[in-house]
Amino acid sequence: METRKEQKERRRQEIVNAALELFVSKGYAATKVTDIAKRANMSTGLMFHYFESKEALYEELIEMGLEGTRYPGAQQCEHAIDFFVTFTEELFTYMEQQPIMAKMFVLMAEAQRSEATPEHIREIAMKVNTIEQFVPIIEWGQKEGTIREGEPLVISNAFWCSIQGIAERYATNQQIALPDPQWIVDIVRKR
């Protein structure tokens, strides 16, 4: 038998899953709370029993996304380029095995990009701050000769936006397979 606490946790999870699905496929603003409730098989009233508002639900999802996004460090790599290979391989594998990962990606991206995102939620989403993260690794790889020449921030941006674009499509349509990670790493690799 299920305790009250477990039941509560399960219900919250059902809501969160339904909301993630919808926020990703329609966007936050276009998603109606009745849609969320319907997809989670409950009345709208019950949804509000578990979450104070649509916005609070959004915030919870964004916080989950922040937690889930702990990327591998560059410590254990011999060359800077290996970091990108490992990073991309792990990310794609994870996205294939856990489609929720790709969806979280898209959710975070929308929250960061859209000017319609409530300010405090945007702030949370911004903590994932990923473009600058790669800059030191790129600088290291340029000294080493494994990463191509060019402004590190611009290279980092190109790599990250590509990953972003790929994740965005994969999240909503898994018809087309993810690319070979090497192809994407070639954006930064020195020839």
Partner DNA sequence: GTTAAAATTGAATAAGTATTCAATGAATGA
Partner DNA sequence: TCATTCATTGAATACTTATTCAATTTTAAC
d(C-alpha 75, C-alpha 59), whole Å: 32
Applying CB under 7 A, which of residues 21, 55, 82, 139 lies at the interface with DNA? Answer: 55
Contact 109, 42 (CB under 8 A): no
Task: Look up residue 42 and give its DSSP letter.
Answer: S
Nearest to 83 by CA among 91, 74, 71: 74
Contact 170, 102 (CB under 8 A): yes
The helices-and-strands tally (H runs, E runs) of the chain is 10, 0
Q: Which is nearer to a copy of itself, 29 or 56 (CB)?
A: 29
At 128, the amino acid letter reads V
Contact of residue 55 among DNA, a copy of itself, none (CB under 5-8 Å per partner type)? DNA
Q: Which is nearer to DNA, 42 or 135 (CB)?
A: 42
Least distance between DNA and beta carbon 34 (Å):
5
Stretch that binds a copy of itself, among 60-68, 72-80, 81-89, 114-122 (CB under 8 A): 114-122
Applying CB under 8 A, which of residues 9, 29, 43, 174 lies at the interface with a copy of itself? Answer: 29
Contact set with a copy of itself (CB under 8 A): 25-31, 110, 113-116, 131, 148, 150-151, 153-155, 157-158, 161-166, 168-169, 172, 176-177, 179-180, 183-184, 186-189, 191
